[in-house]
């Protein structure tokens, strides 16, 4: 368990004066943005002056890793402070997937928004949620006072509705206005809440496909429509910063910028190999910028940090306590604000899961890719380079291109240590078709249905009666009942109630929250 003391809000890094009020926090999360997508991280075909200025004024991290390589689990890691496997949300949640359409972030998980609310903050969410479409998984059930946006990936065939609170604002979300709409609502939140502490989670859908830049941005970059979208995103972030300055609260607001996972194309993850969907570096290593004038020093940091660190960091900044009834996988980053080391060693292990499969483990400069089979790969893993790896492969991350070779570094003791760490984590957080002792249940609107992390295992591992029941409910309810219009009713007489398959889930899990 992690403990958390109150961050000394008295004064700046220089120790001057007292804070009149708790700091505001704006967490800006992009979708499928890679390590080299910003000018300050090496981009050549797009210009991101506002993000570059944020990086110049604040702390830019070169060794930041997300908790997963796809949308839903990576967002769960940010919001809960736990590996997605621990929080029960490690699969890609999508209405099209029969084993997953009824799943979401368990309502009993404590999100960072709930932490903020517990100490008197107003909490706002704008943008992409992607942690369940049933009403029980709505952002407002997870600590947000307000919701505005396109909750999942855009799909005109399935669901393209854009929501303003509990009402549909657009039946067909205007892709060329998404950034404009999100930015305008963010500015509105800032203007209307400048007198009291607030937390704003601004989760852009872009540059995930499909995307369209606004009319005045088309042709503005040297990288086609995607580049235009990137430059419009940067403009929107500039508008948010400007709104903070106009409201007179920029010096009392921490702005965080990052991405949920790596990009689709490897050219945006350079110099690292790989993309989203993989446990190569390009799938997990993305930008992270923290900007808070006078509180966060202006510097480039090579300290290894992970998505799960935001929960304890923000908990400390808001003056709350870490919940004591569950395990967390991050540490507070506030010592870095004082130019001190964080509590976690730079050689502490980090585990690269792909859905329910542990595929790699890192300690310091060393990363060990673990043996795996093609059967264990989730359907989204297109890169089969390591799909039939028969023995562990050790690479040196000090060499960014080390994962392009199949040659293993000859360091027997390092290899042995990493294998031991992997075995311990498998026991705790599971592996393919193996439940771990430390996994919390997955949220499900149909209690008792087995949790299957891979769609290809659905018919193999779930009996026909249960599959037919889930399919019938999907046809009757499904996405039409999403976001505030009622949950799918559970079947109390399921013969397989309480079973779990290949991951956390099964029985209803209830625990009183404060």
Give catalytic residue positions: 71, 130
Determine the Cα–Cα distance for residues 328 and 346; give it in Å rounded to an integer. Answer: 18
Residue 243: which of 316, 299, 194, 281 has the closest Cα? 194
Among the residues of 119-223, which ranges form H helices?
A: 178-192
Q: Are 89 and 147 in contact (CB under 8 A)?
A: no
Q: What is the C-alpha to C-alpha distance for residues 110 and 80, in angstroms, rounded to an integer?
A: 6
Residue count of the chain? 514
Compute the 3-state secondary structure of the chain and give helix, strand, coil in percent, each to the nearest 5. 30, 15, 55
The Cα 441–Cα 462 span in angstroms is 18
Tell the residue number behind the tokens 């997508």, with chain if given. 37
Round to whole Å and give the CA distance between 503 and 51. 39
What does each C-alpha distance from 370 to 367, 387, 388, 423, 456 come to in angstroms? 10, 10, 10, 11, 22
3-class SS at 146?
A: strand
Name the H helices within 353-409: none
Distances in whole angstroms, Cα of residue 369 to Cα of each of 345, 346, 508: 21, 19, 35
Q: What is the Cα–Cα distance from 391 to 370, expressed in whole angstroms?
A: 7
């Amino acid at each position: 368990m992690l403990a958390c003391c109150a961050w000394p809000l008295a004064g700046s890094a220089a120790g001057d004066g007292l804070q009149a009020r708790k700091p505001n926090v704006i967490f800006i999360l992009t979708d499928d943005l890679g390590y080299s997508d910003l000018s300050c991280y090496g981009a050549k075909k797009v210009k991101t002056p506002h993000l570059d200025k944020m990086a110049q004024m604040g702390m830019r991290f070169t060794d930041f890793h997300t908790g997963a390589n796809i949308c839903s689990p990576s967002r769960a890691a940010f919001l809960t402070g736990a590996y997605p496997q621990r929080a029960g949300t490690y699969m890609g949640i999508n209405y099209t997937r029969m084993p997953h359409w009824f799943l979401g972030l368990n309502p009993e998980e404590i999100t960072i928004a709930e932490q903020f609310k517990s100490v008197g903050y107003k909490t706002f969410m704008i943008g992409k949620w992607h942690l369940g479409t049933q009403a029980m998984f709505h952002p407002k059930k997870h600590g947000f006072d307000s919701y505005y946006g396109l909750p999942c990936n855009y799909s005109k065939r399935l669901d393209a509705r854009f929501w303003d609170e509990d009402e549909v604002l657009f039946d067909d979300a205007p892709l060329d206005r998404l950034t404009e709409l999100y930015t305008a609502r963010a500015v509105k939140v800032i203007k209307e809440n400048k007198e009291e502490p607030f937390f704003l989670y601004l989760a852009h859908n872009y540059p995930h496909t499909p995307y369209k830049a606004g009319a005045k941005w088309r042709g503005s970059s040297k990288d086609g429509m995607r580049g235009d979208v990137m430059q419009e995103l940067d403009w929107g972030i500039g508008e948010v910063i400007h709104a903070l300055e106009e409201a007179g609260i920029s010096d009392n607001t921490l702005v965080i910028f990052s991405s949920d996972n790596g990009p689709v194309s490897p050219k945006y993850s350079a110099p690292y190999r790989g993309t989203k969907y993989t446990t190569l570096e390009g799938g997990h290593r993305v930008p992270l910028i923290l900007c808070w004038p006078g509180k966060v020093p202006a510097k480039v940091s090579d300290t290894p940090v992970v998505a799960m660190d935001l929960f304890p960091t923000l908990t400390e900044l808001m003056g709350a306590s870490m919940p004591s009834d569950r395990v967390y996988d991050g540490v507070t980053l506030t010592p870095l604000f004082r130019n001190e080391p964080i509590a976690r060693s730079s050689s502490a292990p980090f585990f690269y899961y792909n859905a329910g499969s542990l595929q790699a483990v890192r300690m310091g400069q060393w990363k060990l890719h673990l043996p795996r089979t093609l059967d264990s790969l989730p359907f989204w893993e297109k890169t089969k380079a390591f799909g039939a790896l028969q023995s562990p492969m050790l690479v040196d991350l000090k060499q960014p291109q080390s994962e392009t070779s199949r040659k293993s570094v000859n360091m027997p003791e390092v290899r042995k240590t990493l294998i031991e760490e992997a075995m311990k984590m498998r026991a705790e957080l599971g592996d393919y078709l193996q439940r771990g002792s430390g996994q919390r249940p997955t949220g499900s609107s149909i209690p008792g249905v087995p949790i299957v992390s891979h769609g290809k295992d659905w018919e193999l591992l779930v009996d026909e009666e249960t599959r037919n029941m889930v399919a019938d409910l999907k046809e009757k309810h499904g996405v039409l009942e999403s976001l505030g219009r009622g949950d799918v009713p559970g079947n109390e007489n399921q013969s397989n109630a309480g079973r779990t398959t290949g991951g956390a889930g099964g029985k209803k899990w209830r625990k009183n929250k404060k």
